[in-house]
Amino acid sequence: MNSSWAAPGLWGAWAGGGGSPLPTAPPAVVEGRPPPPPPFWDSGLNQGLSVFVALALGATMLGLGCTVEASQLGAQLRRPLGLLLALLCQFGLMPLLAFLLALAFALDEVAAVAVLLCGCCPGGNLSNIMSLLVDGDMNLSIIMTTSSTLLALLLMPLCLWLYSRAWINTPLVRLLPLGAVSLTLCSTLLPIGLGVFIRYRYPRLADVLVKVSLWSLLVTLVILFILTGTMLGPELLATIPATVYVVAVLMPLAGYACGYGVATLFHLPPQCKRTVSLETGCQNVQLCTAILKLTFPPQLIGSMYMFPLLYALFQAAEAGLIVLAYKIYGKDFYKQDALGGEEDDTDISYKKLKEEEVLDTSYGTVTAESHGSVLMESAQTAL
């Protein structure tokens, strides 16, 4: 079994044939090389990192709740387009992509679980920022992010259990802490609910908290990279197999492409296609990092929690390239496309559905005017 995911100095990592996670004595000092560093899981820095990850996750979920208006929840129950897209993209496509990539590159169980967990996560706040930059449908973006987060309470442990069966004979998967994962997910309901309440009672404060949570996304990733380098040393990234880097590059890219394909199948307008694409590829890496850091025994984690950080780096870089391409080429292209088919009745957009929620279908009455003209008077009723 490939044990390269074991971090330098983690002498409680995988030892023995078959990958049995037995703690062993520190390796002997090799002549000409300095002694390995002591294990980090008992250090105060590691405890501080765990607290920081938990606080960062709470801030992210609070900001997510502040983007939700209570009136939108009832509307989505009547016209659940965003809910259905979130269900299909986040818990249909992304876990399957993660599973196929883990098999295709023959990842060991430690790396495979990290990849699967990241693929099973709901959408992240980064997608909301990127959707705004590409002139996407912000209502659809927020609804998809919120819906996938709520659906994750049930579907994330289910998908993780289902796709991890390929590695069922390994110790890590046999000890998979699905109960702790579910508990961590349930703990996010409190900040989300608080955010919804703040949006309802104090809209201006909610706007401020949303901006704070979006900035915390960037700050959290930077601090995690710095603290990880401090704890495990700069040689950590060199110990991660090249195949893991390849998966971290391909997975968000494939998510963006599959999301755009799903939106095309639904005949969504261009702004919704861009939104669904970014929502599919952008994962909640803060949630993934928190689950890996808080629910798995640190002796078994090794450097496994580095994968969501790598994924965050590449998903942001690739999304940035999409935004850049749109700013340079996309606006003129979509303007011409809109002039050619602006009134396409086959398009099903969240905006159209939202308008239908406010105004019901018009049957109309016909009245005659002078010179034989006919005027349609809408008899529209509010829902």
Q: For residue 220, is it within any domain?
A: yes
- Calpha distance 267→290 (Å, rounded): 37
Q: Which of 123-132, 295-304, 353-362 is predicted most confidently?
A: 123-132
Q: Fill in the DSSP letter of residue 365.
A: E
**Mean pLDDT (the chain, rounded):** 74
pLDDT of res. 361: 41
The CATH number assigned to the domain holding 190 equals 1.20.1530.20
234 and 134, same domain (yes or no): yes
Residue where a domain stops, chosen among 334, 359, 375: 334
The β-bridge relationship of strands 374-377 and 365-368 is antiparallel
Answer yes or no: is 2 within a domain: no
Residue 320 lies in a domain: yes
Report d(CA 141, CA 278) in Å as an integer.
9
How far does Cα 302 stand from its chain's mean position?
Answer: 23
Residue 366 shares a structural domain with residue 311: no
Provide the pLDDT for residue 170. 79
**Token digits of residue 252:** 């968000």
Residues 94 and 210 in one domain: yes
| 313-364 pLDDT per residue, tens | 899 889 989 999 998 886 666 555 554 444 444 344 444 444 544 444 443 4
Using DSSP, state whether 364 is helix, strand or coil: coil
Residue with tokens 């195949």: 243
Q: Are residues 364 and 252 in the same domain?
A: no
Same domain, 120 and 214: yes
Q: Same domain, yes or no, for 328 and 355? A: no
pLDDT range class, residue 222, cuts 50, 70, 90: confident
Please report the pLDDT score of residue 235 as a whole number: 61
Assess whether pLDDT exceeds 70 at residue 8: no
pTM for this predicted structure:
0.70
> Which candidate, 215, 59, 89, 67, places its Cα nearest to that of 143?
67
Q: Are residues 272 and 358 in the same domain?
A: no
Most confident by average pLDDT, 106-115, 187-196, 297-306, 367-376: 106-115
Residue 86 lies in a domain: yes
* More confident of the two residues 297 and 129: 129
For residue 119, give Cα distances in angstroms to 62, 99, 122, 154, 368.
Answer: 22, 8, 8, 15, 61
| Neighbour-count burial of 382, counting CB atoms closer than 10 A to its CB (0-12 exposed, 13-18 middle, 19+ buried) | exposed
CB 131 within 8 A of CB 275: yes
Model confidence over 248-285: pLDDT tens digits? 999 999 999 999 999 999 898 999 999 999 999 999 88
pLDDT exceeds 50 at position 230: yes
Residue 90, pLDDT > 70, answer yes
Q: Which domain holds residue 355?
A: 351-383
* 227 and 260 in a common domain: yes
What pLDDT, on the 0 to 100 scale, is given for residue 116?
A: 94
pLDDT confidence of residue 79: 73
Confidence of residue 89 (pLDDT cuts 50, 70, 90): very high
90 and 193 together in one domain: yes
Residue 3 is predicted with a pLDDT of: 43
The fraction of the chain above a pLDDT of 70, given in percent, is 65
**Co-location of 105 and 134 in the same domain:** yes
pLDDT of residue 137: 86
Average pLDDT over residues 137-147: 84
- Return the closest-CA partner of residue 115 out of 310, 345, 326: 310
Residue 133 lies in a domain: yes
Structure tokens at 372: 């034989």
In tens, the pLDDT along 158-173 reads 999 999 988 878 777 7
The residue with tokens 């046999």 is 174
Q: Higher-confidence residue: 128 or 234?
A: 128
pLDDT score at 294: 76
Amino acid at 374: V
3 located within any domain: no
Note whether 149 and 286 are within 8 A (CB). no
Domain count, the chain: 2
- Closest by Cα among 289, 156, 150 to 227: 289
> Average of pLDDT values for 224-245?
70
**What is the radius of gyration, based on Cα positions, of the chain?**
24
Residue 219 shares a structural domain with residue 293: yes
For residue 156, is it within any domain? Answer: yes
Residues 328, 362 within the same domain: no
- 348 versus 75: which is more confidently predicted? 75
Tell me the sheet residues that pair with 367: 375
Q: Does residue 27 lie within any of the structural domains?
A: no
Predicted local confidence at residue 366, as pLDDT: 42
pLDDT value at 95 more than 80:
yes
